[in-house]
Amino acid sequence: MEEHILFNNGADMRFVKKIFITLLIISSISFAQKVHPNLLLTKHDVNTIKENLNKYKLFSKSFIEEKKAIDEATLNPIDVPVPKDAGGGYTHEKHKQNYNEMYIAGIMYQVTGDEKYAVFIKKMLDKYADLYPTLKTHPEAKIESGGRLFWQTLNETVWLTHTIQAYDCIYDWLIPSDREKYEKNIFVPMARFFMEECKEEFNRIHNHGTWTVTAVGLTGLVLGKDEYVKKALYGTNLDSQGGFIAQLDQLFSPDGYYTEGGYYVRYALWPFFIFAEALANNLPELKIYDYRNQIMKKAFYSALQMTYSNGAFMPINDALKEKTWLSPEIIMGVNFVYERYGQDKQLLSIAKQHNKVTLTGAGLLVAKDFQETHEIPNFEWKSVKFSDGGDGKQGGIGIFRYGNIDDMQTLLFKCTSHGLSHGHYDKLHFLFYDQGEEIIQDYGAARFINIVQKFGGRYLPENKSFALQTIAHNTLVVDEKSHFNGKQEVSEKFHPEIYLFDASNPDFQYMSAFDTDAYPGVKMQRTMILVNDENLYRPVIIDIFKVISETEHQYDLPFYYMGHFISANFKYNSFTTEKKLLGKKNGYQHLWKEAEGNPTEGFIFTWWNKQRFYSIISSADSTAKIIFTRIGGSDPNFNLRNEPGIIIRKNAKNYTFATVIEPHGVFDPILEYTRDSYSTIQKISIIYDTEDYSIIKITGRKGINWTLMLCNKNSDMNKEHTVESNGIVYQWKGPIFLQK
């Protein structure tokens, strides 16, 4: 059978006409399960769990906790309400609770054999079998694709993903007429709804699409519907324009980076692992865990690297800062990656923090090895660069780290593609962590998830009007307009080009990238360096942001710092009795102007956070303006966090922002002790700057006298360079050199 399919050959992804071996496989076999259950929990798993139920403490604890909760649930009246509420409302939360309880009850029935759990599921399915055929589009369906049980189809696919597993667990216990009723009234019409009425969502290369194909694929496996499984794998037209394989090909770069960012990879990995595990158990011929050079493994480890040392996902794009690797999606990922990819003992350190495992064979293995491994190594966060895009050629992201787990510095430099519908307009943006928390922040998303009073728990209007706009990020804004004029369809066509990356020397880690598309006629290049020196408390960030244009523009470079302002070495005018908005649109309408001033010759801005001080040392002179700003303007419903920032503003054609960010000193309020509240570095100046070369001078106390030499166009590490300025000759080798 010949098909046009999306075929992956290493990093080169392209459409070719091939006889794909897996299509031959799926055309000749039936997907009907020979035994039940056989999705995440298999009959073999059940027998192994029964034999070892009380042997491993972590598994026993997890089992007992879930059993206690579901035992209480079986004593309560079953409520399957008519859908009415959006996220956070009673009916929304009740249907979520129902699918979770059915899922756990199915496992309990399989392991204990107690029919009360099967009866519980049956009674609930009876009510859904009566309700579901009567439902039309949810009354709260608004922005997203509308569901029936839930306000968006995403929640409905999660419901089906869990409920079909519960059904699988009691399949053999049910009489045929009950199975026929549930399949006729619930599972088949719901799957058809996703495949036919939500075809665009089904084929969408996006985490919503992943959930949809997973729900339909699992349903096909349990019901023996070959068509469902084929469409789940290869899209509704079986042409690999959509479906699970296309998701694996296009959402992840060859090294595993997920294009929507670290926050959403956490959520997306959940259905990826659910469907992959079900496919591995039912269609081992597909070798799904080996696909694309084990892309599932790479995706999971890249997700872990997208966390800070406190386990929080670094909040680029639409992201909620409260999410950490303690979430249930990562519990599942740890368990299945551990089982399927060689039992990496580092993962046991994360399982220790979880203090919980999945009630599967993989969870039992993790619990066993956790108990029997005497020395468990910590997870190793690394300095790393990830490429973006299915072909690995759509920019990327750089992460620099320094220090141990207890006090780690982390600098993230974002040079990725847009990130689909959850992307932000933030080319060449960065964020910085220290002391276990954000020091220079990414705002993340404007959303109060599942809080019904806040827009039904959905993304707030301020997410679009502020959080995704360029001014909400630590990157350049030209003429108060967002990158690509805030148009997603344009932004998705372009990406930055990574010029340099090297993290081999922990004392001198650097990355540089270009963007020539965010603003027509404006070329941006940002070089970020993490430098350690024995004369400093901690490594400093050197940030060189170069802008080239043939016409004059207003350039704004924000830094959203976390902490309390301490001092600035220039005079500024504070607006203490009346505040004005910074602008009228593109996010500026949400910023208050609290103060402004002009530096004389460079400036130092210092703030305090926890036990350290932080300073921004800039080359900006009196022709620039420094604006003190605070988020929260034009916000009548108080949806935005009121957090501070400073903006360096300059009107120019060509301009280079040269900045050092220095952590320094000690503050102990208990002992009333302060040391080195002033920065060690006192000045950064540009002594030579052309399109080809930049020479930067950095001086300060304790003998700091550095010269940074940059070649802005040639990345050849062996190329020798010579620049003369003011009678001084600078010579170096390679694109970047720091002379101390």
Same domain, 181 and 259: yes
Domain contains 719: yes
Residue 651 has pLDDT above 50, yes or no: yes
Q: How many domains does the chain have?
A: 2
Same domain, 329 and 202: yes
Residue 12 has pLDDT above 50, yes or no: no
Same domain, 442 and 531: yes
Residue 342 has pLDDT above 80, yes or no: yes
What pLDDT, on a 0 to 100 scale, did the predictor assign at position 20?
A: 46
Give the pLDDT mean for 411-431: 97
Same domain, 414 and 300: no
What pLDDT, on a 0 to 100 scale, did the predictor assign at position 27?
A: 55
Domain stop point among 372, 405, 436: 372
Q: Which of 238, 240, 237, 242 is nearest to 205 (CA)?
A: 242
Domain contains 377: no
Same domain, 36 and 154: yes
Quote the tokens at residue 500: 């340099």
Give residue 153's identity as a one-letter amino acid code: T
Q: In the structure, what pLDDT confidence band is assigned to residue 13 with cuts at 50, 70 and 90?
A: very low
Give the pLDDT mean for 293-299: 98
Same domain, 463 and 350: no
Report H helices in 113-197: 115-131, 153-170, 176-182, 188-192
Q: Which domain holds residue 82?
A: 3-372
CATH of the domain at 363: 1.50.10.100
CATH of the domain at 633: 2.70.98.70
Average pLDDT in the chain? 94
Q: In the structure, what pLDDT confidence band is assigned to residue 31 with cuts at 50, 70 and 90?
A: low
What is the rounded distance in angstroms from the CA atom of residue 3 to the CA atom of residue 407? Answer: 54
Q: In the structure, what pLDDT confidence band is assigned to residue 144 with cuts at 50, 70 and 90?
A: low
What pLDDT, on a 0 to 100 scale, did the predictor assign at position 34?
A: 77
Residue 438, classed as helix, strand or coil, is: strand
Domain contains 182: yes
Domain contains 441: yes
What pLDDT, on a 0 to 100 scale, did the predictor assign at position 292?
A: 97
CA distances from 430 to 318, 399, 496, 511 (A): 15, 10, 14, 11
Q: In the structure, what pLDDT confidence band is assigned to residue 9 with cuts at 50, 70 and 90?
A: very low
- Using one digit for the tens of pLDDT, what is the confidence trace for 601-616? 889 999 999 999 999 9
Same domain, 364 and 400: no
Domain contains 298: yes
Domain contains 379: no
What pLDDT, on a 0 to 100 scale, did the predictor assign at position 28?
A: 53
pTM comes to 0.93
Residue 16 has pLDDT above 90, yes or no: no
Residue 29 has pLDDT above 80, yes or no: no
Q: Which of 132, 106, 128, 107 is nearest to 119 (CA)?
A: 106
Same domain, 714 and 608: yes
The DSSP letter of residue 254 is T
Give residue 619's identity as a one-letter amino acid code: S
- Using one digit for the tens of pLDDT, what is the confidence trace for 239-277? 999 999 999 999 999 999 999 998 999 999 999 999 999
- Using one digit for the tens of pLDDT, what is the confidence trace for 311-333? 999 999 999 999 999 999 999 99
Give the pLDDT mean for 198-202: 94
What pLDDT, on a 0 to 100 scale, did the predictor assign at position 452?
A: 85
Angle at 340 between CA 337 and CA 346, to 5 degrees: 45
Residue 33 has pLDDT above 70, yes or no: no
Same domain, 391 and 364: no
What pLDDT, on a 0 to 100 scale, did the predictor assign at position 143?
A: 62
Angle at 156 between CA 154 and CA 159, to 5 degrees: 115
Domain stop point among 372, 398, 428: 372
Q: In the structure, what pLDDT confidence band is assigned to residue 141 with cuts at 50, 70 and 90?
A: confident
433 belongs to the catalytic site: no
Question: Burial code of 609-643, b = ≥16 C-beta within 10 A, e = fewer?
Answer: beebbbbbbbbbeeebbbbbbbbbbbbeeebbeee
What is the rounded distance in angstroms from the CA atom of residue 295 to the CA atom of residue 306? Answer: 16
- Using one digit for the tens of pLDDT, what is the confidence trace for 97-132? 999 999 999 999 999 999 999 999 999 999 999 999
Same domain, 412 and 326: no
What pLDDT, on a 0 to 100 scale, did the predictor assign at position 4?
A: 29
What is the rounded distance in angstroms from the CA atom of residue 722 to the CA atom of residue 41? Answer: 66
264 belongs to the catalytic site: yes
Same domain, 236 and 113: yes
Domain stop point among 352, 372, 392: 372
Domain contains 688: yes
Give the pLDDT mean for 380-398: 97
Residue 686 has pLDDT above 50, yes or no: yes
Q: In the structure, what pLDDT confidence band is assigned to residue 5 with cuts at 50, 70 and 90?
A: very low
Exactly one of 36, 418, 422, 483 is catalytic; which is it? Answer: 422
Work out whether strand 580-581 and strand 625-631 pair parallel, antiparallel, or are unpaired: unpaired
Residue 54 has pLDDT above 90, yes or no: yes
Residue 654 has pLDDT above 70, yes or no: yes
Residue 96 has pLDDT above 60, yes or no: yes
Exactly one of 99, 182, 264, 301 is catalytic; which is it? Answer: 264
Same domain, 352 and 412: no
- Using one digit for the tens of pLDDT, what is the confidence trace for 663-674? 999 999 999 999
- Using one digit for the tens of pLDDT, what is the confidence trace for 429-446? 999 999 999 999 999 999
Report H helices in 194-327: 199-202, 207-223, 226-234, 244-250, 262-282, 291-305
Domain contains 147: yes
